[in-house]
Amino acid sequence: MSPLNDAQAAHATPLAGKLSNRAFNALARHNITTVEEVIAAYPERLLKLAGFGLQSLREVEAVFFPGQCYLAELKDGQRPTKKMHGAPLIGLGLHPAA
C-alpha cells in the first residue's frame, strides 16, 4: 500500500469509531488510521498484520464491504487452518470430515 499523498490525506476519512477497539487498535499499531488505507490494504495485507485475524477481517467486511466474504484460495492438498475457522468448507471446495 502506498502512503496517501497530501491531497488524499487532507480528505481522508478517519477510522476511529467505525470498528471495534480491538480491530481499530490492531490497525493503528500498523499506522492504518483511515478508511481509505483499510480499503487499499484489503484483504491480503490486512491478514498479514500482527494482531489482525479473520475475525477482524470479517468486521471490516461487514462495515466497508457488505455482502463480501474473502476466502483464501487453497493449494492442492492444503487443508483449512484455524485462521479459516468459520469459512464454509464446501465453499473452499472441501467437505467436512465425517
CATH number of 45's domain: 1.10.150
pLDDT recorded at residue 61: 93
7-50: pLDDT as tens digits: 556 678 999 899 999 999 999 999 999 999 999 999 989 999 99
Cα–Cα distance for residue pair 42/61, rounded to 1 Å: 9
Closest to 42 (Cα-Cα) out of 62, 22, 14, 17: 62
**Per the domain annotation, does 79 fall within a domain?**
no
Domain interval for residue 65: 6-71
**Per the domain annotation, does 34 fall within a domain?**
yes
12: left (phi over 0), alpha (psi -120 to 50) or beta: beta
> What global pTM score does this model have?
0.66
- Residue found under cell 476511529: 16
Number of domains within the chain: 1
Indicate if the alpha-carbon torsion angle 59, 61, 66, 71 is positive or negative: negative
